[in-house]
Structure 1
């Protein structure tokens, strides 16, 4: 039976050079030896080159190439990290710039809504017929002294004064000027009598009778613009504006009408958003127009305040929203604790001590009813122990106990607890 053997031995021999006579050592490695029965074959494997280094050690070229690749990879990672950091800083800077721009625009919008800013955007449009009245120069002098903008131009309704507002930014439909809903008509007593006679005629004929041109135009404007609020300023030195009896008597004398008829005309005008004011002179007319102008200047700011959901005097905080009470009643204990803590000079540990002894107001009221005298009720909570922040214990005290008792049992809403 043949057997296979592998030999890997080294043979060292000594030889002498014929020319130099020096001896050298020679090594040879015996290769694989095949043995099979009577026949034996020997193979000699070539010896590996002697480099002086272990066979597992890398060559310098390969190590240098790997070190170069690792260095380039690290540099690439550093560049990517720096680029990512630079991009993040640029993004944060852009967001900060946008936030600042947004705050500036909001502040500018709020400044534009202030009354003093809105007053500069208002313009009074005065019909030339208004200036035909004696004493109308007082109105123009007052407007010029106040440095308010006003225009003298023909209006749709004669004898009228209207207001327009310049918008800081054009609307979606391209409008940059809007007309206010206030319309004031300045009439003398003769013009107002024509209006009254026209209204009476319309009431008798169910609106089919012809009316005065002024009232006809006014009603037509109200039909097209239902949001308009019209005020008739009637100037008459003969009718004192603060004397209702004198006003009715004067109208009855000049128009031959009864008091009931005059009231009927007033109701008819009021149902159509037309109010009537009787004034003595142009000083009263000027004061009225100035008051309307100032009120219109405050309207955008007042509208902004009413549109705010929160209250401006409530600061943000964890206590601002109070305690949440669920459907199962959880949270009522926290509400009771906050209610006790609202009293003056009652700290959170003191309120916790009171609510721990009496978990609900009803239990405390029951304890008050079961106590005999008034003095005992006032001192019911005085001996409760309160743990401070440093672990020291103290009592609630008679003062706090008396105030809690008053707050739960007093029937006078004006009672001072302290």
Structure 2
């Protein structure tokens, strides 16, 4: 294809005239250009192609620039497509849709598939995508039976695995619930939480007395629940402990063994008088004693820890004192006979006089009761004191399980309260001297003064061990600490004594023995 410079080689040749310039000039001046109309190409594509009119020496028609460029691009695309086609057209890969349409339009292929050149169009038959139908194989009865057994075995295995999973899940849920219950139970035993789970059961007979309202108010002020119900022991107060998961409104709970019974002054004096009569006469009559009456209550209510409370016993002793003074004045005035007649008239009137017992009789009866039954008697002045006693007992019963768990230290000996925390020592060595003193005081029958005497001579275990190494034999080691002086008190009242061979021997066995089960009091 020729270049643009070929058509314009002659300098004297007129410049080319573009069609759109003629149309623009015609539209501007309103008249057509004859030269442009004569040079415009004829044919169907004349309206779509802009031509350039020029005179050529060879007389060949001039090809417009746009048409030449389009033809050049089409030739290049056709060559690339032919180079990519394989040699065998049957197995040639499918062309892209755009390229296929372009080649069809270039070659004159009709939409129906026939080319304009008259060559037949070879199409590739569509692939068969239907599944291959195979003839089912005939199985024997043994194969069918084996297949069923295998399917049954697999189903049973799956069901077994499912059951195992369900059992494992239930076991995990149960263990989780147990751990949660134990955690809640441990939390419920704490001193700040235990009182909330207590239920105080009060006998209605106590509320009918003059101090019943005070008792009920004191119980409700603790923050625990209160239940008014008839008790097995009359005029008594008992306790129940609710489970941690139970609601405050639930009435159920685990009953506690402690029971506090309020006994009237008249009944108590009568029982004490029976004890006095039995002790003086040496035989038991129909009147029960304080000890026998409590033993009868214990036989009726097995497993209960009974305690008695007597309110305003001093009133009885004051009345008894006033009666004795009155009798003394009557005796001095010589009116003993008239007083006897007055007493007879009082008895005939139906009022029965109280038996007379002394304070010594009451103390003897109470001690006898504690020795034979283990039941204590609490003497209170007013109903306010009785209400405070019930509140204090409620707190003690609530905190009892927590204190029992805290006292389970694993030691076979008792630790005092100041020993529970131990002795603290710092990194710089401060406090080690007191630690060494505490270790010496752990021995039986070692007082702080004895430990201080040993500490003054040997301030550390290492110094004492070095002193044992310098001794000539076991006899000298056993008596190494015997002559140490122990000072008691200060000033003129101070006394001194020796450590002695017994403590010296025990401390030597503590420092040198390699047998963990050896008794320190044993002979060497």
Say which one has the larger Rg: 2
TM-score greater than 0.5 by the shorter chain: no
Going by fraction, where is strand more abundant, 1 or 2? 1
TM-score of the superposed pair, with normalisation by structure 1: 0.45
Going by fraction, where is helix more abundant, 1 or 2? 2
TM-score of the superposed pair, with normalisation by structure 2: 0.37
